[in-house]
Amino acid sequence: MPLRLTVTLPRVLLLVTALLIVKVTGVVMLGYVNYFPPNFQSDFLHGRESYFFTRYQWAFYPHIVSGPVSLFLGLVLLSDRFRVRFPHWHRWLGRVQTICVLGVMLPSGLVMAFDAAAGPYATVGFVMLTALTATSTVLGWRAAVQRRFLVHRRWMLRSYVLLCSAVVLRIIGGIGTVLEVQALSFDLLATWASWVVPLIVLELYGLRTRRTQS
Ligand code: HEM
């Protein structure tokens, strides 16, 4: 491949991915009109009225606020240009992101996982996703404190790819709607595929680049 193309193509792909993340997150947030106040006829809240006001709401609202915050902050934090130009801001926003993900987003998602619409096997998937995202974030944070920046970058990239499961899940859901698939097994498969597939792709890509560098 010509040199200019090998430099430009990954940049274009990154830009398209970032735009897709912003677009899908924006669409998800437009759906919040159904949550303030809760509309139990809406897709997500349908059938949740019996337990929503007892405990679910205390996880649900923090989750739907911290989720988009973590996706937008992650985009800023992963930008090389931003980090190089504003290292101080990178450090501060990184702290905010770590608190947001570990202190609010993941614990609230974990509570909600036990009422997952696609059933107990989806719960298992969400619990594993929570554990992996938490582990990646903690190890990424620890590496930054120890000033092992390459390791820090790798773990934080893993953490972000796992956060993007929320985006991938909505994309798969959208494809399911277009294809008029209504099976519960499709939703279950989507909850797993939304993080397992991107994680495998990331690890394979990491292996390849490390091999070509050595
Ligand atoms: C990796 C971390 C995450 C975990 C473990 C997680 C977990 C969950 C769970 C278990 C549910 C309920 C699903 C169901 O009952 O079927 C849910 C719903 C939701 N999550 Fe997350 N989530 C994560 C990341 C995110 C992110 C990054 C966003 C940002 C947009 C987000 C936004 C939402 C929203 C808005 C809902 C309500 C449903 C909707 O309106 O589409 N989550 N999440």
Tens-place pLDDT, residues 35-85: 999 999 999 999 999 999 988 999 999 999 999 999 999 999 999 999 999
Cβ neighbours of residue 103 closer than 8 Å, sequence gap 6 or more? none
Residue with CA closest to ligand 1 atom 33? 64
pLDDT at residue 3 greater than cutoff 90: no
Q: Among 42, 73, 163, 157, which Cα is nearest to 109's?
A: 163
Dist. CA 139 → ligand 1 center (Å): 23
Say what the pLDDT of residue 192 is. 98
Confidence band, pLDDT 50/70/90 cuts, at residue 4 = low
Residue with CA closest to ligand 1 atom 39? 44
Residue 87: C-alpha distances to residues 83, 98, 152 (Å):
5, 16, 15
Say what the pLDDT of residue 9 is. 79
CA-CA-CA-CA dihedral for 47, 124, 201, 185, to nearest 10: -50
Q: Name beta bridge partners: 38.
A: 35
Confidence band, pLDDT 50/70/90 cuts, at residue 8 = confident
Cβ neighbours of residue 41 closer than 8 Å, sequence gap 6 or more? none
Say what the pLDDT of residue 214 is. 62
Q: Does the beta carbon of 70 sit less than 6 angstroms from any atom of ligand 1? A: yes
Closest ligand 1 atom number to CA of residue 32: 40
Domain boundaries, the chain: 3-213
Instruction: Indicate the average pLDDT of the chain.
Output: 95
CA–CA dist 3, 25 (Å, integer):
34
Q: Among 79, 132, 124, which Cα is nearest to 101's?
A: 132
Q: Among 172, 144, 139, which Cα is nearest to 24's?
A: 172
Say what the pLDDT of residue 7 is. 66
Give 174-212 pLDDT, tens digit per residue. Answer: 999 999 998 889 999 999 999 999 999 999 998 888 777
CA torsion through residues 71, 73, 78, 80, sign? positive
Q: Does the beta carbon of 159 sit less than 6 angstroms from any atom of ligand 1? A: no
- Long-range CB contacts for residues 196-199, cutoff 8 Å, separation at least 24: 197/168, 198/161, 198/162, 198/164, 198/165, 198/168, 199/132, 199/158, 199/161, 199/162
Confidence band, pLDDT 50/70/90 cuts, at residue 140 = very high
Mean pLDDT of 127-150: 98
Q: Does the beta carbon of 25 sit less than 6 angstroms from any atom of ligand 1? A: yes
Dist. CA 4 → ligand 1 center (Å): 39
CA–CA dist 193, 173 (Å, integer):
11
Residues 38 and 52: beta-carbon distance below 8 Å:
yes
Mean pLDDT of 89-100: 98
Closest ligand 1 atom number to CA of residue 115: 15
Residue with CA closest to ligand 1 atom 43? 109
CA–CA dist 66, 69 (Å, integer):
5
